[in-house]
A and B are shown apart, each in its own frame.
Chain A
Amino acid sequence: MALLEIENLSVTFATSGGEFRAVDEVSLVCDRGEILSIVGESGSGKSVSMLALMGLLPWTATVTADTMRFDGRDILSMSDRQRREIIGRDIAMIFQEPMSSLNPCFTVGFQIGETLRVHLGMGRAERRERSIELLKLVGIPAPEKRLSQFPHQLSGGMSQRVMIAMALACNPKLLIADEPTTALDVTIQAQILDLLIGLQKKNDMGLILITHDMGVVAETAERVQVQYAGQKVEEQRVRELFDDPHHPYTQALLSALPERATRHGRLPSIPGVVPGQGDRPAGCLFSPRCRFATDLCRQTVERQGPEFGYALCNYPLKEGVPTGHPGVPELESAR
């Protein structure tokens, strides 16, 4: 049994303009010692699905799922109190903006120690000792001094290290990192990623890395799940995904990477934007932006099997060629 199993998770928000489905029947599995990456543009429901798991969504959100199991326990049937016992202890999360994610009114020591006191009931001296140990673990020099500092005295990279230390306080089984490097300088990004992966290996944690950066995925993940407009469109091992993407969206994301742009001139981009509340098309949600879309795609879309990475596509790509597509030759010549 996997550490985390989520089947057909949906999240809808009640808004003034009616219901908005931010996550649409997403399934996900992550095991101990595994790095799963969730990729997609802004608005693809990556963060929302993880916040739903943590129970951190506002009350306007309705969460439904067929299964949501963590470590063999059913999260859906838990009371808020029972869920709070797991959250912060067995499942921990770090966020995109480390500077604003730390409370400006409390010292670093207080904020790390709080988790230790609430979940493990540690005394003052014990908390201090463990906090110093954690700060050392995340590579913060002079940890004794840092404990009494406030967040505004730390840099962005330092803050994210403190966030990681806080998340690791109770040796969680699963760590969710929601775009942990997006707000940081490029040089710091690599350091933080290395740190996360090192700690993941050392503690044998499951790590779910949410990102929109394919470069980060290539460097870190083992398995990748691509999300688009709240739906999972493809899932593959990272090597295979980069070698042979099955969904046109994945292909488009990959070809937008500067490293992979073989031809000279402008970088390719995906025209249009992710559909929002008002403009969700029928059939395949990617059809308005897809260069392979046919009339069939605008009416319905089918999920493929494991040989095509569970791609949510009527004409899944194989070596860049859409399987079963009616107009393949024209497309080839058009390129």
Chain B
Amino acid sequence: MLRFFLYRVALLIPTFIGVSIVAFAFIRLLPGDPIMLLAGERGMSAERYQELQAVYGFDRPYLVQYFDYAWGILQGDFGQSIVTKRPVLEEFFTLFPATIELSLCAIILAVGIGIPAGVLAAVKRGSWLDQTIMGAALTGYSMPIFWWGLLLIIFFSGTLGWTPVSGRISLLYYFEPVTGFMLIDSLLSGQAGAFKSAVSHLILPTVVLATIPLAVIARQTRSAMLEVLGEDYVRTARSKGLAPRRVIGLHALRNALIPVVTTIGLQVGVLLAGAILTETIFSWPGIGKWMVDSVFKRDYAVVQGGLLLIASLIMIVNLLVDVLYGLINPRIRK
């Protein structure tokens, strides 16, 4: 198990280098110039432009720029934003908790509903319940996130007025962030109604972000479960006189979860991509919105640093999933 783990960790290094090259090249391949965007409509003189290029080091060959950048990363320095002049890492960690809070809630919702729904559909295979669940899953999977988000805003925030349209908490409340997680901070602040406000702001973005992973998890659980329910060991479990709940919930589900866990791991990447859209729709101050804004401003340091950090996050999550996979599947444990 330890060797397996160390091997997986070692594999992260080349992946990390690859991502850093892609992130570096990606933003420079886009048309547009950060310095010109900085100047805005006023424009600037050729001398001033040259001067600024030298300040940011953009006048050097790409190879030199890359190695300078890579050397910085090795020392934990991701550079600083051209726009805000603040270190990339600092901005990232300010905004990161908002994204984590949203993503965590979404994945909990997706797993918490997707797995039971998939199990139910498999057990009641062919029934109206199965068809309803799978129909809903297909609809959810095919739904464009931005459109679905807007629909929910129009209905729940507009027509019904039940939930706020955007942001993380009502402007009525203010407190210093302690953990960065609004649900926890609002509780810690002790202000009446703050927690309720934070929850109500979180509901719609969570639902929107969870929709696609939920649909994928439900479908995957159903098909894995259907396969497992026909296995000999399920018959053995029933022949022991175990209650159906135990046969399905323990003997069958435990085996069906093996492919589902892989799917959940892959969904984390989808989730972070979805977070970019969701955060933009709901003005959620997380790294998704931050990345989108930076791309528009061609903020080289933020885009390449942010991409690298997000990619690292996905890599770490996938590593954890692999470890989890080893834990639930005794056959690959050594």
Interface on A for B, CB 8 Å cutoff?
54, 56, 83-89, 92-93, 95, 97, 100-106, 114-115, 118-119, 150, 152, 163, 166
User: Are the CB atoms of A89 and B241 closer together than 8 Å?
Assistant: yes
User: Are the CB atoms of A163 and B328 closer together than 8 Å?
Assistant: no
For B236-270 the 0/1 string (1 means CB < 8 A from A) is 11111111000000010011000000000000000
Given contacts A150-B330, A150-B331, A152-B330, contact A101 B232 (CB under 8 A): yes
* Contact residues in A for B238 (Cβ distance below 8 Å): 56
30 residue pairs from A and B, CB less than 8 Å apart: A56-B235, A56-B239, A84-B243, A86-B241, A88-B239, A88-B240, A88-B241, A88-B242, A92-B239, A93-B239, A95-B236, A97-B232, A100-B231, A100-B232, A100-B233, A101-B236, A102-B233, A103-B236, A103-B251, A105-B255, A105-B328, A106-B254, A114-B242, A118-B240, A118-B241, A118-B242, A150-B330, A163-B236, A166-B236, A166-B240
Contact pick for B233, options A54, A83, A104, CB 8 Å: A104
The verdict on B329 contacting chain A, using a C-beta distance below 8 Å, is yes
| Residue of A whose beta carbon sits closest to that of B254 | A105
- The interface residues of chain B, by DSSP majority, are classed as helix
User: Are the CB atoms of A54 and B239 closer together than 8 Å?
Assistant: yes
User: Are the CB atoms of B232 and A105 closer together than 8 Å?
Assistant: no
User: Are the CB atoms of B240 and A115 closer together than 8 Å?
Assistant: yes
User: Are the CB atoms of A87 and B331 closer together than 8 Å?
Assistant: no
* Contact residues in B for A115 (Cβ distance below 8 Å): 240-241
In angstroms, how far is the closest chain A Cβ from the Cβ of B155?
40
In angstroms, how far is the closest chain B Cβ from the Cβ of A24?
23
A54 and B235 alpha carbons, distance in the complex (Å):
10
A102 and B231 alpha carbons, distance in the complex (Å):
10
Chain B residues bordering chain A, tally (CB within 8 A):
19
A283 and B233 alpha carbons, distance in the complex (Å):
39
* Contact residues in A for B235 (Cβ distance below 8 Å): 56, 95, 101
* Contact residues in A for B237 (Cβ distance below 8 Å): 103
| Residue of B whose beta carbon sits closest to that of A85 | B241
For B195-239 the 0/1 string (1 means CB < 8 A from A) is 000000000000000000000000000000000000111011111
In angstroms, how far is the closest chain B Cβ from the Cβ of A312?
30
In angstroms, how far is the closest chain B Cβ from the Cβ of A119?
7
The winner among B233, B237, B241, B328 for most chain A CB atoms within 10 A is: B241
User: Are the CB atoms of A103 and B240 closer together than 8 Å?
Assistant: no
User: Are the CB atoms of B239 and A87 closer together than 8 Å?
Assistant: yes
Given A83-B241, A87-B240, A118-B242, 14 more A-B residue pairs with CB atoms under 8 Å apart are: A84-B241, A84-B242, A86-B241, A89-B241, A95-B232, A97-B232, A100-B233, A103-B233, A103-B251, A104-B255, A105-B255, A106-B254, A115-B241, A163-B236
* Contact residues in A for B242 (Cβ distance below 8 Å): 84, 88, 114, 118
* Contact residues in A for B236 (Cβ distance below 8 Å): 95, 101-103, 163, 166
In angstroms, how far is the closest chain A Cβ from the Cβ of B1?
14
| Residue of A whose beta carbon sits closest to that of B252 | A103
In angstroms, how far is the closest chain A Cβ from the Cβ of B171?
51
